[in-house]
């Protein structure tokens, strides 16, 4: 690999120019409709892994991420960016790795990798806090600003707000469906009082919010006078940030035979970072992919049937998707740009994608997949409590179920993606109602802070007016 190949980005579909990290960060969608991937990945050999093993989380993050950033930051600046990004986390080590009581599963130790110690109690903070800090830093060098526009069905909006609120070069406006998210979800967003944050309750459902977002992004700067962008899960910087915790846990757990990772999956972002970690030299054995009833990825892996169906509500709502927006990166990883372009064009046309046979066989080696309906998830929540004494959120419970089903004699890390206090309704449904006290306390704290949001109609005029009348930088 050429020394700087990891910091040169190209579309998965092969079109357009090569670009650098800053360009891929600011314009995450290449002109041909694909997704950016680096031309090459850094690789860490046995001696280097030994050295990485001894590093703190932040030092490790610097080593893993530096090759992807290239010269978008001045030498030595990355360490400061990482320290700022993660200073709001509960633990200095950002994530927490702990053995589950009893510690063994078919002889192999079972561990929980807790990724939810950031400001909104969900794993998305790990990637979004770094994304916000990087954006702020790079925009400041370029003397620019961005208005982040995003739509949420409840859970991800607060992670985006927390990522932007302290950034001088960013404003953020979040669209959410009025009266269709929980009070906790709403207050997590609307209790933030900074001038660069605007919460908009849209009279309509989540689809109306997404359509409005799409229409607004299509109009771009003409709509608001500000350069717009979104921070959805396709931004390469988010995936790069997630590779770090695979190394962190994998290096600590490996006993020479490699480590399995069980991952609750929706848009295929988190688990794709595990694919990258394996390719970068981490001894990854199997990636145990767990879906809820929205099982497009499970169908793709067991039957080579990646076909779009209607999304269904589930007890693990952050995995409720009809298509997995990062799956295209796996297609590219297993094939090439030309094949990816052809398969994605076919998928856009027919809603069906089948991998070439050899690529599908490779995918079956990388992953063991499983699908869990609401009952299976609630049951796994109960088992977590009964067998290991841990209270899990429904997403993590799906991954625990996958680990229990697969379990071999090697260590397995179950990726814990949300704090259970965020999903108290599921706790009650699983018969774990006695563990909702923390959720109640957190809600009471939020209630003390008051709220700030505006209700708008689901059309561009209303959005434009709300943005124009707001305190967002340079708009009001
Ligand atoms: C977003 C999310 C997931 C799914 O992650 P992907 O990267 O979309 O696969 C799982 N659990 C929780 C709690 C989430 O918020």
CATH code for the domain of 386? 3.40.50.1100
- The residues near 125 (Cβ < 8 Å, ≥ 6 apart) are 89, 116, 118, 119, 159, 162, 163
**304 backbone dihedrals φ, ψ, rounded to 5°:** 50, 40
187-215 pLDDT tens trace: 999 999 899 999 999 999 988 999 999 99
Characterize the bridge pairing of strands 96-105 and 170-177: unpaired
User: Does residue 457 form part of some domain?
Assistant: no
Residue 240 lies in a domain: yes
Helices vs. strands in the chain: H and E counts, helices first: 20, 16
Q: How many domains are there within the chain?
A: 1
CB 175 within 8 A of CB 200: yes
Residue 18 counted as domain residue: no
Residue (of 347, 277, 333, 354) closest to 35 by Cα position: 333
Residue 147 is classified by DSSP as: E
Is 466 a member of any domain? no
Which ligand 1 atom is nearest residue 242's CA?
7
Nearest-10 crossing angle of helices 77-85, 57-69? 120
The 10s digit of each residue's pLDDT in 61-115 is: 999 999 999 999 988 899 999 999 999 999 999 999 999 866 555 556 899 999 9
Residue located nearest, by CA, to atom 7 of ligand 1: 269
Residues lining ligand 1, judged by CB closer than 6 Å? 122, 124, 155, 233, 264-270, 318-319, 395, 417-418
Between strands 352-353 and 306-307, the pairing is antiparallel
In a domain, 254, yes or no: yes
Residue 390, domain member (yes or no): yes
Mutation test residue for ligand 1: of 318, 394, 402, the one with most atoms within 8 Å of CB: 318
Q: Which residues are catalytic?
A: 124
pLDDT (0 to 100) of residue 245: 98
In a domain, 107, yes or no: yes
d(CA 402, CA 414): 9
Protein residue closest via CA to atom 1 of ligand 1? 318
What domain range is 257 assigned to? Answer: 93-119+236-432
Angle, helix 156-164 to helix 124-142, in steps of 10 degrees? 40
What's the confidence (pLDDT) of residue 476? 46
Cα gap 314→294, rounded to integer Å: 8
65 torsion bin: left (phi>0), alpha (psi -120 to 50), beta (else): alpha
Q: Which residue from 113, 115, 125, 264 has its CB within 8 A of the most atoms of ligand 1, so it is best to mutate? A: 264
Q: Whose CA is nearest to atom 8 of ligand 1?
A: 267
pLDDT score recorded for residue 408: 85
Residues of the chain with pLDDT under 70: 1, 3, 101-108, 474-476
Report the C-alpha dihedral over residues 448, 452, 457, 463, rounded to 10 degrees. Answer: -150
Phi and psi, residue 171, nearest 5°:
-115, 155
* 32 inside domain: no
What's the pTM value of the predicted model, to 2 decimals? 0.95
Q: How far away, in angstroms, is 270 Cα from ligand 1 center?
A: 7
């Amino acid at each position: 690999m050429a020394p700087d190949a990891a910091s040169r980005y190209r579309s998965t579909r092969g079109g357009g120019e090569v670009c650098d990290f800053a360009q891929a960060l600011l314009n995450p969608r290449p002109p041909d409709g694909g997704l950016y991937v680096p031309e090459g990945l850094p690789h860490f050999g046995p001696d280097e892994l030994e050295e990485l093993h001894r590093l703190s989380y932040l030092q490790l993050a610097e080593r893993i991420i530096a090759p992807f950033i290239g010269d978008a930051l001045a030498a030595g600046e990355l360490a400061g960016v990482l320290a700022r990004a993660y200073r709001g986390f509960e633990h200095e080590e950002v994530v927490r790795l702990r053995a589950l009581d009893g510690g063994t599963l078919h002889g192999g130790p079972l561990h929980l990798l807790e990724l939810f110690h950031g400001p909104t109690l969900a794993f998305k903070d790990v990637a979004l806090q770094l994304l916000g800090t990087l954006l702020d830093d790079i925009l400041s060098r370029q003397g620019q600003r961005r208005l982040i526009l995003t739509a949420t069905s409840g859970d991800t909006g607060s992670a985006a707000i927390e990522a932007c609120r302290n950034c001088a070069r960013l404003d953020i406006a979040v669209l959410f469906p009025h009266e269709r998210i929980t009070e906790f979800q709403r207050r997590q967003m609307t209790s933030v009082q900074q001038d660069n944050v605007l919460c908009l309750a849209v009279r309509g459902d989540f689809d109306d919010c997404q359509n409005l977002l799409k229409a607004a992004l299509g109009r771009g700067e003409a709509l608001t006078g500000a350069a717009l962008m979104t921070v959805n899960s396709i931004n390469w910087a988010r995936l790069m940030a997630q590779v770090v915790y695979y190394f962190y846990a994998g290096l600590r757990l490996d006993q020479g035979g490699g480590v399995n990772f069980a991952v609750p999956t929706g848009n295929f972002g988190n688990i794709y970072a595990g694919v990258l970690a394996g390719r970068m030299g981490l001894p990854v054995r199997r990636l145990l992919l767990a879906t809820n009833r929205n099982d497009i990825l499970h169908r793709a892996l067991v039957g080579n049937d990646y076909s779009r169906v209607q999304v269904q509500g589930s007890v693990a709502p952050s995995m409720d998707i009809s298509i997995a927006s990062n799956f295209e990166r796996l297609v590219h990883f297993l094939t090439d740009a030309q094949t990816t372009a052809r398969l994605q064009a076919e998928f856009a046309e027919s809603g069906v994608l089948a991998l070439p046979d050899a690529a599908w066989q490779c995918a079956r080696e990388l992953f063991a997949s499983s699908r869990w309906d609401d009952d299976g998830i609630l049951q796994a929540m109960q088992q977590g409590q009964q067998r290991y004494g841990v209270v899990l959120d429904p997403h993590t419970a799906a991954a625990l179920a996958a680990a229990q089903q697969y379990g071999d004699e090697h260590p397995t890390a179950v990726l814990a993606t949300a704090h259970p206090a965020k999903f108290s309704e599921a706790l009650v449904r699983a018969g774990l109602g006695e563990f909702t006290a923390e959720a109640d306390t957190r809600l009471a704290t939020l209630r003390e802070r008051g709220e700030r949001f505006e209700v708008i109609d689901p059309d561009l005029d209303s959005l434009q007016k709300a943005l124009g009348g707001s305190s967002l930088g340079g708009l009001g």
